[in-house]
Amino acid sequence: MPSYTPPLRDMQFVLHELLQVDKEFAQLPPHAELDADTVNQVLEEGGKFAAGVVFPLNRSGDREGCHFDAATHTVTAPAGFKDAYRQYVDAGWPALACDPGFGGQGLPLTLNNAFYEMLNAANQAWTMYPGLSHGAYECLHAHGTPQQKSLYLPKLVSGEWTGTMCLTEPHCGTDLGMLKTKAAPQADGSYKLSGSKIFISAGEHDLSANIVHLVLARLPDAPPGTKGISLFVVPKFLLDASGAPGERNPIWCSAIEHKMGIHGNATCQISLDEATGWLVGEAHRGLNAMFVMMNAARLGVGMQSLGLTEVAYQNAVAYARDRVQGRSLTGPKAKDKPADPIIVHPDVRRMLLTARAFAEGGRAFCSYIALQLDRELNHPDESVRKDAADEVALLTPIVKAFLTDNAWIACSEALQVYGGHGYIAEWGMEQYVRDARINMIYEGTNTIQSLDLLGRKVLMDNGAKLRKFGDKVKSFVEQHGTDDKMAEFITPLAELGEKVGKLSMEIGMKAFMNRDEVGGAAVPYLRVVGHLVYAYFFARMAKIALDKEKSGDDFYKAKLATARFYFARLLPETAMLIRQARSGVQSLMAMDESLF
């Protein structure tokens, strides 16, 4: 049976020592009064909820899955999910980072993000129900009319209602320009929506009294492609005069998918049968409005993967301490036992440290982005807000793709630590591997994220956003370049920074001649930049740990050891990735289609 302990000490290290959030919050008027004790208390309580209420439902939810009743179009979530959701609502958790104007507690996203890491580690499938609601909240908050906001936001904030995002259709997932769902204008200003959506997470369930669907559809006069897509809010139950759920709106769940992982989350086929909806934001600009939700969701998917990485790591360590097999190559270590615990073997340590480094690097990176989001939203200085927004735009595809690829590796390595037992369901590791796999696919596949990074975020703006991030790296390198103790971190970081700059220019030049070069280089390119980001944070964490070396606190010893492992064993992957990215598109395109 797996177990989970919220990694509060490491979260506190990241928030207080690495990012010094109290100083940052002091500059943001809505959070200026927030102190470290309150941050720690929220994390502690959040950890108790995640580990105590949600985690025990992870395996049972996976085994039981969701139940669909075709006669009533209803879905019942696995046993215990509804009760855990009620406890979540009663405790006020959905309101944590929401606008106080709509009943929220107004705490920073940085804190909400840390809470979500723990929820996801405890139970990704369950966490998707409230997670999508938060995305719907953000979208309506940014683009809804005052009336839409007053009708829907208080209920999403309290958690009484949940939300969805309905983009995908059977014939289009990545290429939403082909979307067919239609919206016909009505005399009263509403619209009748007709069409079919697939793969809609939390599209139907029994956790909440109403479901607020955000649906992409086309108006009759819509231009073709992505420029003709509009966004609509379509509640499961239409609201009566008092704003309470009334008449059933014909937006039905017609089936649920049977899938590899996240069994506890209902993945629904949805039919819209002249369902009533209302336009959100401007006509034909729906994709722009939806991007608010998609960006929040992309960071959310990164958090899903971080949570899985952490929980898989924790369990693999416990197993490696306990399982005895073989003797250490340097002589017996547990002489009282018939064999040594497998944690003595170098390659078992490699697997554990890989997962650990991906968890620690990912936590630093995700917390940093969440902090940039808070600055983008609330810093009084416009230029700071703009810089933060640029950084979030650059780093969001990396959070989504790099963390999810790494979680897949980490969960697989953690399973491997268990040998054959990892493959057996009762140990719980195979669930983590299955659950981790979807994160690389939804919210835009990782290929699409890498095209977004290289094509749009780097090349289309002539590398300006990347240079801004590079300047942060350079300034850290200059600040610590003469510190001998830091040389083992600073030298490879500085080298990689230079290589990323050159690589970006080289691909940009090639892309002038052949746009396919972007597609050929994008995936390894994103991984290289992901490593630059991790190397930067590991170097910063190593600096703090070195400064605290004499404190005798093992936490800093472990931090330093993980950073050294990262630089020695994971970062060198960039040499291969750079060669791949530079190798050009020729080897990919040379083979005639008919020869595949």
Ligand X SMILES: Cc1cc2nc3c(=O)[nH]c(=O)nc-3n(C[C@H](O)[C@H](O)[C@H](O)COP(=O)(O)OP(=O)(O)OC[C@H]3O[C@@H](n4cnc5c(N)ncnc54)[C@H](O)[C@@H]3O)c2cc1C
Q: What is the footprint of ligand X within residues 229-248 (CB under 6 A)?
A: none
The answer to whether 68 contacts ligand X (rule: CB under 6 A) is no
Closest CA to 298 of 58, 131, 522, 519: 131
Q: Of 247, 443, 488, 495, which is the active-site residue?
A: 443
Handedness of CA 392, 361, 118, 400 (dihedral sign): positive
- In the complex, the smallest distance separating the C-beta of residue 262 from ligand X, rounded to whole angstroms, is 6
Q: d(Cα 113, Cα 366) in Å, to the nearest integer? A: 8
Is position 126 an interface residue for ligand X (rule: CB under 6 A)?
no
Backbone conformation region of residue 189, classed left if phi is above 0, alpha if psi is from -120 to 50, else beta: left
Under the criterion CB under 6 A, does residue 442 sit at the interface with ligand X? yes
Query: 65 or 519, CB closer to ligand X?
Result: 519
Q: Does 304 bind ligand X (CB under 6 A)?
A: no
Compute the least distance from the CB of residue 327 to ligand X, in Å.
45
Minimum CB distance to ligand X smaller for 215 or for 279 = 215
Q: Which of 20, 38, 41, 174 binds ligand X (CB under 6 A)?
A: 174
Judge contact between 196 and 243, C-beta under 8 A. no
Is position 404 an interface residue for ligand X (rule: CB under 6 A)? no
User: By CB under 6 A, which span of 109-117, 364-372, 402-410, 444-452 interacts with ligand X?
Assistant: 444-452
Half-sphere exposure of residue 555: CA atoms within 13 angstroms, side-chain side:
16
In the chain, % helix, strand, coil (3-state, to 5) comes to 65, 15, 25
Least Å from the CB of residue 116 to ligand X: 17
Q: How far apart are CA 40 and CA 407, in angstroms?
A: 26
Dihedrals φ, ψ of 126, to 5°? -65, -40
> Binders of ligand X among 186-205, rule CB under 6 A?
199-201
Residue 21 binds to ligand X (criterion: CB under 6 A): no
Return the SS3 of 342.
helix
**Region binding ligand X by CB under 6 A among candidate stretches 88-96, 119-127, 161-169, 503-511:** 161-169
Under the binding rule (CB under 6 A), the answer on residue 301 touching ligand X is no
- Residue 448 lies near ligand X (rule: CB under 6 A): yes
Residues 481-520: x where in contact with ligand X by CB under 6 A, - otherwise, as a string: --------------------------------------x-
Under rule CB under 6 A, residue 167 binds ligand X: yes
> What gap in Å lies between CA 502 and CA 468, rounded to an integer?
15
Quote the tokens at residue 162.
């949940």
DSSP secondary structure string, 494-563?
HHHHHHHHHHHHHHHHHHHH-THHHHHHHHHHHHHHHHHHHHHHHHHHHHHHHHTGGG--HHHHHHHHHH
Range in contact with ligand X (rule: CB under 6 A) among 51-59, 62-70, 378-386, 439-447: 439-447
Nearest by Cα to 120 from 354, 438, 353, 369: 438
Q: Which residues contact 591 (CB under 8 A, 6 or more apart)?
A: none
Would you count residue 441 as binding ligand X (CB under 6 A)? Answer: yes
Instruction: For the chain, give the number of residues.
Output: 596
The Cα–Cα gap between 92 and 113 comes to 16
CB of 275 to ligand X, least distance (A): 16
Smallest distance, ligand X to C-beta of residue 397, A:
13
CB of 205 to ligand X, least distance (A): 12
Show the site string, 535-574: x = touches ligand X by CB under 6 A, - = not.
Answer: ----------------------------------------
Q: CA 372, CA 378: separation in Å to the nearest integer?
A: 10
> Which residue among 11, 34, 39, 165 contacts ligand X (CB under 6 A)?
165
Q: How many CB atoms lie within 10 A of CB 442?
A: 19
Q: What is the DSSP string of 465-491?
A: HHHHHHHHHHHHHHHHTT-GGGHHHHH
Shortest spacing between CB 273 and ligand X, in angstroms: 19
User: Which C-beta is closer to ligand X: that of 114 or that of 290?
Assistant: 290
Q: Name every residue whose Cβ is closer than 8 Å to that of residue 172 and which is 6 or more positions away in sequence.
A: 178, 179, 180
Question: For ligand X, which is the closer residue by CB, 438 or 458?
Answer: 438
Q: Find the residue with minimal CB distance to ligand X.
A: 173
Q: Does 271 bind ligand X (CB under 6 A)?
A: no
> Does the annotation mark 443 as catalytic?
yes
- CB 552 to ligand X: min, Å: 47
Where does this chain bind ligand X (CB under 6 A)? 165-168, 173-174, 199-201, 259, 267, 438, 441-442, 444-445, 447-448, 519
Q: Which residues are catalytic?
A: 443
